Structure 1
């Protein structure tokens, strides 16, 4: 009955050819593979990105609109909530 909530750094494709960013790219893939094997429930939040959608294909992906305050102004961005089918979450 273990529940995992994951909120990793946002995925961006900018500067992927830099050494540091290439390593971060691999970490996203490793986490996706690990989540395929866990026995518990999980909820993962990410920014909306086509690569992330492809990486987590097969899981349940819900879109939510999130508001942020940046320099005193509100911005809205689509976030992805990704969960395994064992999760029972009411959105």
Structure 2
């Protein structure tokens, strides 16, 4: 509690020139794409439950199309799945080991995540 004012002030300074949009992800990329723009994309993981949103395979295909054609640069983090590797196969990829916390209580599941670069 002693540092709350200092922390809020620091957060205010960091976010003072930030824009928050509530628009479709593809529309956001199209709207803000410039040669100097960097996009970090973290979509729902393919064939994983619990997101509560409709995000079909066509969305990942669209993401690959946009990554291929944008003026700026993009990095995508996503679960390692054969379908994802096929869709983004033309891009540079790195495998990163990650421990997913499943249901809390210290139950970790080791997985591989892909970092994909445009």
**TM range, smaller chain:** 0.7 to 0.9
Distance 1:4 1:35 in 2: 9
Please report the TM-score for the alignment, with normalisation by the length of structure 2: 0.59
Tell me, which stretches of 5 or more residues in structure 2 are unaligned? Answer: 1-35
Q: 1:61 aligns with which of 93, 110, 116?
A: 93
User: In terms of Rg, which structure is larger?
Assistant: 2
Corresponding position of 2:3:
none
Distance 1:9 1:27 in 2: 10
Q: 1:3 aligns with which of 35, 38, 43?
A: 38
Residue deviations 1:6-47 (CA, integer Å, cap 9, x gap): 000011299xxxxx96x6121111111111101111110110
Higher fraction of helix: 2
Deviation at 1:80, TM superposition (A): 0.2
Q: Cα RMSD between the aligned structures?
A: 2.1
Cα pair 2:67 2:73 within 8 Å, conserved: no
Which segments of structure 1 move beyond 2 Å, counting only runs of 4 or more?
Answer: none
Residue 54 and residue 39 in structure 1: after superposition, are their counterparts in 2 closer, same or farther (change >3 A)? same
Tell me, which stretches of 5 or more residues in structure 1 are unaligned? Answer: 15-19, 85-91
Distance 1:12 1:69 in 2: 17
Higher fraction of strand: 1
Tell me the secondary structure at the aligned position of residue 36 of structure 1: helix
